[in-house]
């Protein structure tokens, strides 16, 4: 009995016992079922071989048919600054207020509470790093300049950032400081406090054209 030619999804030449699947004939519905949701077909084993199911690692999710990085795992932080000089009185602590938001990805800054960067609930238990920078006016070269990053109205926390130094001579005194990575809880807040003992009133310099004091926070994990 002659072998007839086969056409369609499975093809064979006439009088041939060899069959093959047509190109592009296997649809997704004809493939083996995937064992669970949120799997990608590929190969994780070294070398060529059969396809395998690959699981998504931490920080990647599937939403519908889209593979994405959840918002929580993207960069988050805030950077605020002041474009107006900040007046300080000798030997009196001054919490620096901020009036410009360069960026704020998750609501760390509140204009109604302008000295603080506050941890949103979504970052409870995460680690952050903070940074601050100021430049003192040249009005006086006497005394010391002191700058600290405070957590919940306290300087005393592991990894705190503090800088104290004698006033520079013939130039502005600049201070830059940062904290170590710090674990935080929701509603923790951070501020920058300055102090000087020049004997008089002294400004923290601020100018949109040359220099702006700044305060920033970055979520690390």
pLDDT in the model for residue 20: 76
112 in any annotated domain:
yes
131 pLDDT higher than 80: yes
Q: How many domains does the chain have?
A: 2
The C-alpha atoms of residue 74 and residue 69 are separated, in whole angstroms, by 7
Asked if residue 38 lies in contact with residue 57, where contact means CB atoms within 8 angstroms, the answer is no
114 in any annotated domain:
yes
Within a 10 A sphere around the Cβ of 146, how many other Cβ atoms?
16
Q: DSSP assignment, residue 44?
A: -
Q: Is 109 found in the same domain as 192? A: yes
pLDDT in the model for residue 44: 79
CATH code of 108's domain: 2.60.120.40
E-strand stretches of 43-142: 52-55, 61-63, 66-68, 77-81, 86-88, 94-95, 100-104, 117-118, 127-135
82 in any annotated domain:
yes
55 in any annotated domain:
yes
The C-alpha atoms of residue 130 and residue 121 are separated, in whole angstroms, by 18
The tens digit of pLDDT for each residue in 164-189 reads 999 888 788 899 999 999 999 999 99
pLDDT in the model for residue 100: 95
Cα–Cα distance list, 60 to 38, 64, 90, 121 (Å): 10, 13, 52, 21
3 in any annotated domain:
no
Q: Is 174 found in the same domain as 103? A: yes
- Looking at residues 186-201, what average pLDDT do you find? 95
Range of the domain at 109: 75-219
100 in any annotated domain:
yes
Higher pLDDT, 34 or 79: 79
User: Any idea how long the chain is?
Assistant: 221
Q: Is 173 found in the same domain as 151? A: yes
Q: Is 49 found in the same domain as 151? A: no
Phi, psi of 29 (to 5 degrees): -70, -20
Q: Is 122 found in the same domain as 27? A: no
87 in any annotated domain:
yes
Q: Report the DSSP beta bridge partners of residue 128.
A: 182, 219
Q: Is 53 found in the same domain as 97? A: no
Q: Is 179 found in the same domain as 143? A: yes
The tens digit of pLDDT for each residue in 45-72 reads 888 888 887 776 666 767 777 776 666 5
The tens digit of pLDDT for each residue in 2-18 reads 566 656 677 777 776 77
């Amino acid at each position: 009995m002659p072998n007839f030619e086969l056409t369609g999804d499975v093809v064979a030449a006439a009088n041939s016992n060899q069959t093959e699947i047509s190109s592009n004939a296997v649809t997704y519905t004809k493939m083996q079922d995937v064992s669970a949701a949120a799997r990608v077909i590929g190969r994780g084993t070294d070398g060529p071989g059969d396809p395998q199911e690959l699981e998504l690692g931490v920080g990647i999710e599937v939403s519908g048919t889209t593979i994405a990085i959840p918002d929580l795992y993207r960069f988050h932080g805030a950077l605020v600054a002041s474009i107006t000089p900040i007046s300080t009185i000798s030997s009196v602590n001054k919490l620096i207020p901020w009036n410009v938001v360069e960026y704020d990805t998750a609501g760390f800054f509140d204009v109604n509470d302008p000295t603080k960067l506050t941890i949103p609930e979504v970052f409870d238990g995460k680690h952050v790093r903070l940074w601050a920078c100021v430049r003192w006016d040249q009005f006086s070269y006497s005394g010391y300049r002191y700058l600290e990053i405070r957590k919940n109205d306290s300087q005393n926390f592991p990894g705190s950032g503090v800088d104290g130094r004698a006033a520079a001579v013939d130039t502005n005194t600049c201070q830059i400081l940062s904290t170590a990575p710090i674990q935080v809880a929701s509603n923790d807040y951070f501020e920058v406090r300055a102090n000087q003992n020049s004997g008089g009133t002294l400004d923290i310099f601020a100018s949109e054209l040359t220099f702006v004091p700044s305060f920033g926070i970055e979520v690390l994990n």
